[in-house]
Structure 1
Amino acid sequence: MQPFNTTSGALPKKRRLAAFIYLVAGGALLGLSTNLAKLAGGVQLSPLAFLFWSIAGAAFILLIVAALRSNLPPVTGRTLEYYLISAFVGVAGSNLIFFSAIPHIGAGFVALVITLPPLLTYMGALILRLERFQIMRAMGVVSALAGAITLAAHKLSAPDADYVWILLALAGPVLLAIGNLYRTLRWPAGVSGDALAPGMLIAAAGLLFSIGLLPGFSLEVPTEQRLALLLIAIQSAVFAGQFLLLFLLQKTGGPVLLSLLGSVGAVVGVPVAILLQGEAVPEGLLPGALLISAGIALLNIGKAKQLP
């Protein structure tokens, strides 16, 4: 990733504000996405079919925007590698795990699971020297992680806990953390985020399509139900905004701040799951949410102190 250059103190402040806006908006879309996935299950849309058609729709939207701006995704050996690996760890693999787990453990809990990448991302960033150790940011990561663990522990202790799907869902954040670091390390020089986003989504759609060709899988959409088509259209728009904001946040805030998208997503996704979808209030929600919120605040303050 290219370093951010500035000749005055004003630009870093604008950069921090932009990163905060991208984080809040992208996290809100992420929280909405998990709830849309639960609604899709209610209209006989399989997780794979819903994810594939939504990703394909989002790729089409971003590709049209890129074409109108004369900023189409470049096709080189380097960018093809970037699209494919980013698509697997950050889109196809992780989201397929989350969307498949939602019918078993609920949209609210999946929204909470997506808060787990910060610690893994921060540790990786320190090892790879993408970040320098800063006590306030470390405290922020620990606080956000403690909040997520508080919520996960209560879920695992429930008498009807589905351990297989809970543990499988916990593998998703590992892929997300890898994706956060990979996109930073391998960001193609001179290529903007709004050109990379449609390339990654096209690659993700291709990966999901190949899975749909395997025995036992299907990409079929129940066209007799208009709600299924409406949900795909809405999710396509949500994904288009979410992944465009992801790349913008990656460029302005770095991989650790990016990893907090899940924490913001939980703040939106959990209340929606409770109020609009009738899910039970997760035990430990208040202390967990407070710890996550404190973590976001500490990470943003620490990031501000690192910038010139």
Structure 2
Amino acid sequence: MAGGGDRDRVSPEEAELRRGFKTLSVTQPDPSASFYEVRLNRPAHLNALTPETFAEIPLAMSLLDRLPTARAVLLSASGPHFCAGIDLSSPSLPSSPSPDPAAAADGLRRGILEMQAAVTAIERCRKPVVAAVHGACVGGGVEVVAACDVRCCSADATFVLREVDMAIVADLGALQRLPRIVGYGNAADLALTGRRITAMEAKEMGLVTRVFGSKKELDAGVAKIAKEISEKSAWAVMGTKAVLLRSRDITVEQGLEHVATWNASMLRSNDLEEAIKAFLEKRKPVFSKL
């Protein structure tokens, strides 16, 4: 139909997302809002993480990173529980046919690094990622959540790092990210004891920032958070995430220099002029598209 070309045109990223995934579900819950939901979608297996999941998470995050209509991302899960950790019934790490122990160790190391990269893809997505946790969040599930920017849960949620009980060291980022989120003492307590904590204890130590009374309230609450983020200047939001992550790993002085350099460029955006004008005119700003 004449005149409908622009409205019907689909970006390469959107087309790729529409092709779908095997272990994830990626949707835009509210077509009028600029956020997408990535849902772990193996409820019959408690959303345990498989090699396919580790391949699909970075693909989904990369597509949403580049998709102009995505300004925020929700990370949730289907079924009664968020994630049971790594699927032990599925071979997650490559095995080397070589009898050489060094070759076998190298193959194992490469496999671990690939899984680490999949989790880090959540952190590296320029768009803020809001985690919505319900039910059990175990092992690798906690490591996935730790890579998110905002973490919320329902009152029935529980969290546990079980790796120490499996005679292994947690290796997908929990030992690196949790101390910065909950403090060294709390991270050591969780990682060394393997004890399960409740939603309220998770909030008390800062693992999550908000606890909702039910799964229904959680879904509505995180959607509201994602929508609020998506309505702000995309450049300001992406810049804030980038500076927060960079400042986490450097000194205060280095962080201040980094944000000065960032804003030397970004303070020239049209969004700043629009924000000031909207404030003076007492209206809601209309920010530029990506």
TM-score, normalised by the number of residues in structure 1: 0.23
Structure with higher Rg: it is 2
More strand by share: 2
More helix by share: 1
TM-score, normalised by the number of residues in structure 2: 0.24
